[in-house]
Amino acid sequence: MPVIDLAEVSRRDLNSQLHALVPSTNETHWRVENPNGQHALAAGVDAPITIEIAGHVGYYCAGMNKQATILIEGNAGVGVAENMISGMVHVKGDASQAAGATAHGGLLIIDGDASARCGISMKGVKIIVKGSIGPMSAFMAQSGMLVVLGDAGDALGDSIYEANLFVRGNVKSLGTDCVEKTMRDEHKAELRKLLDTAGLNGEVSVDEFKRYGSARTLYNFHVDNASAY
């Protein structure tokens, strides 16, 4: 198992080594020590490998991830798993702002809280936050699922398109065009599947969640609004 100590090796060297991996690589389990809040760690990985990062990381960790499973054993700075395409990113601590922003796919699990703008402009990613999320989360969310076991801050889902938001705790306020929606069986099944994937089977009941999504009133130009432009 390659062990990279960032006290000895530069972040660029680490990322270059990860970028050079081919899909058939046998080096499938990496460990990164002494991250010390450095930025862009394990960003742009495109290989079916597991990377454990032993501590707190800075901005854009695991950004653009494809295929890899990336475990962060601490807190993550701004933009963790930003624009992820596939794979899995698991933050054992808290995540700062814009976690999972613009991500197209994959799974982002945050054991602690995520601050403002979690899942902003998400495009298909599945995000589970075991704690609470900050204000303006899922702003302009386009597709995917955001599941929050705790509370959500102000203006959840402002200008949302078609993402599904599930919140177990309180929502401080909903953003423009975001409304509470009925939890149908298909949503419960989908939520159950995701909770189980995140290892929450037996712990959390889907009946405790409320579902939020788009009222779809901002989709098309409305002539009554002409004077606003």
Partner 1 sequence: MCGIVGLFLKDRKLEPKLGSLLAGMLEVMTDRGPDSAGFAVYGSGDADHVKVTLRGRELEGIAETLGHGVKGTLRDNHLVLSFPKDREDQIRTWLAAERSEIKVIGVGQRIELYKEVGLPAEVSKRFGLPDMSGTHGIGHTRMATESAVTTAGAHPFSTGADQCLVHNGSLSNYRSLRRMLEPKGISFETDNDTEVAAGYLSWKLRDGATLAEALQSSLVDLDGFFTFVVGTESGFAVVRDPIACKPAVMAETDQYVAFGTEYRALVGLPGIGSARVFEPEPARVYAWERH
CB of 16 to partner 1, least distance (A): 21
Nearer to partner 1, 118 or 195 (CB): 118
Cβ atoms of residues 110 and 131 within 8 Å: yes
The yes or no reply on residue 135 touching partner 1 (CB under 8 A) is: yes
Q: Which stretch binds partner 1 (CB under 8 A): 18-26, 32-40, 81-89, 195-203?
A: 32-40
The yes or no reply on residue 136 touching partner 1 (CB under 8 A) is: yes
CB of 33 to partner 1, least distance (A): 12
Q: CB neighbours (10 Å) of residue 141?
A: 33
Cβ atoms of residues 161 and 181 within 8 Å: no
CB of 117 to partner 1, least distance (A): 9
Looking at 69, 96, 121, 214, which residue binds partner 1 (CB under 8 A)? 96
Q: What angle do CA 114, 115, 118 make, to 5 degrees?
A: 70
Binding mask 34-73 for partner 1 (x = CB under 8 A): --xxx----------------xx-xx--------------
The yes or no reply on residue 121 touching partner 1 (CB under 8 A) is: no
The yes or no reply on residue 102 touching partner 1 (CB under 8 A) is: no
The yes or no reply on residue 77 touching partner 1 (CB under 8 A) is: yes
Nearer to partner 1, 87 or 153 (CB): 153
CB of 224 to partner 1, least distance (A): 30
Looking at 83, 97, 121, 137, which residue binds partner 1 (CB under 8 A)? 97
The yes or no reply on residue 119 touching partner 1 (CB under 8 A) is: no
Q: Where on the chain is the footprint of partner 1 (CB under 8 A)?
A: 36-38, 55-56, 58-59, 74-75, 77-78, 93-94, 96-97, 115-116, 134-136
